[in-house]
Homo-oligomer: A and B are copies of this chain.
Amino acid sequence: MIPRWQPRDPDWEDKVRRSFARQTVMALIGATLTVVRPGAVEIQLPFRADLCQQHGLFHAGITTTVADSAAGYAAFSLFEPGTMVLTTELKINLLAPAHGDRLRATARVIKPGRTITVAEADVFVRREGVEIHCARMSSSLISRPEA
């Protein structure tokens, strides 16, 4: 996760952390923001029995939830002051069953833009101490003036 981009807001790190803290669904599922760099964010999520699909794996929607937040904050870290971030679209390929004791989502900006920023995220599931690449996502984030 080597940052390639320059933030345009000196408050970039704090604004990401404050915004993440307001995402109530992150507290509900138990996700934590573990790394914040300019254009790159990591989120971790320990396994819980109430985050599963029908076979006891992390639900694909939960995998997507952490990947989406990571990508959104990777983008937001590069946004100008006075703006907010919204996901306009995302696509995720689920590469392996999300069977393990922790998800780790790492996201990075591929292309920053005034209006649309494109980001990507990889999700790894840890099983018996080894991380398996279980998902890859791309998404578009739009910058809007703060309400």
Contacts and interface: CB of A to CB of B under 8 A. Distances in A.
Interface of A: 19-20, 22-25, 27-29, 49-55, 59-62, 64-66, 68-69, 84, 86-97, 110-111, 115-116, 118, 120, 133, 136, 138, 140, 142, 147
Most buried by B among A27, A52, A93: A93
Contact of A94 (B23, B59, B69, B86): B86
Main secondary structure of the interface of A (DSSP, over half): mixed
B140 A89 contact: yes
23 contacts: A24-B52, A25-B52, A25-B53, A27-B50, A54-B84, A55-B147, A60-B68, A61-B66, A61-B69, A62-B65, A64-B68, A64-B90, A88-B93, A88-B94, A88-B140, A89-B92, A90-B91, A90-B92, A91-B138, A93-B111, A95-B118, A96-B111, A136-B138
